[in-house]
Structure 1
């Protein structure tokens, strides 16, 4: 007498599919966890206050253009940023600041006083500054009027 024998062969496919789904879900969960841990900063800490004051900023920029171009140039050989005010500010008392703004990391931002030489220029040394993209913002006052210029530079 022959016995009926179930001849089921063992297959790994269902287990492999389940393992793949579990691994994929674990990867997605890890990705979401890492994304939630990232710092999400606005471009500036006081972005909304700056937005309200934007018309004043436009006026400052227009006044600066009317007085002449403020030259902001990076010189790799001198390892410095040259800020040059136009001749229209000659014999005027100029006070202000230079802000080095790093869009990718606000912890690297720097603020320096504007200290112009007789030729209305200032060299900002960049040897100690991290390489990459920077925005150089120059804001100053002369004859009770405020002015502003900005230039994006790549420090190499």
Structure 2
């Protein structure tokens, strides 16, 4: 049996379409390729975005900036010296873009104007840190993307 060029093109197209269909079905049914939205409550979070902008501007009004650095114990955030640690109430949210099961919250516990995120909770890779707190009736927020 001899295959002419027209039959070859049709066979090639059928194989290509079959390959694409196989990839689509695999990506849709395999849990390994399960990708979610960035956050579960995406639209609710979008409505509160202006409050976050205002809180970040409040944080920028301090005389010093919050500085994060990697230490042997974990990730250390240094707060401005003018903040009284006793008056701070809030939480730290660590978001792992590659795996939502690794996301976690920590209460803010500051000593010597520093907050330590323990090393045993952080895996190597990218993290988004959000520190959300209230201080003397004002709302403050600090966000940073790090590679640990």
* TM-score bin, normalised by smaller chain: 0.7 to 0.9
Secondary structure of 1:87's aligned partner: coil
Pair 1:51–1:17, CA change in 2 (3 A): closer
8 Å contact from structure 1 (residues 70, 83) kept in 2: yes
Deviation, 1:104, is: 2.0
Write 1 or 2 for the structure with the bigger share of helix: 2
Secondary structure of 1:146's aligned partner: strand
Deviation, 1:20, is: 4.0
Unaligned runs of 5+ in 2: none
**Alignment pair present for 1:125 and 2:121:** no
Q: Residue by residue, what CA displacement relative to the aligned partner does 1:92-119 show, whole Å, maximum 9, x if unpaired?
A: 51111111111222221011111111x1
For 1:19 and 1:85, locate their aligned partners in 2 and report how far apart those are by CA, in whole Å: 66
Match of 2:128 in 1: 135
8 Å contact from structure 2 (residues 109, 115) kept in 1: yes
- 1:13-28 → structure 2 map (5 Å cutoff): 19-28=11-20
Q: TM-score, normalised by structure 1?
A: 0.79
Match of 1:7 in 2: none
For 1:57 and 1:128, locate their aligned partners in 2 and report how far apart those are by CA, in whole Å: 26
Please say which structure displays the higher CA radius of gyration.
1
Match of 2:102 in 1: 108
For 2:139 and 2:67, locate their aligned partners in 1 and report how far apart those are by CA, in whole Å: 17
Deviation, 1:17, is: 5.8
Unaligned runs of 5+ in 1: 1-9
Say which of 67, 75, 95 aligns to 1:71.
67
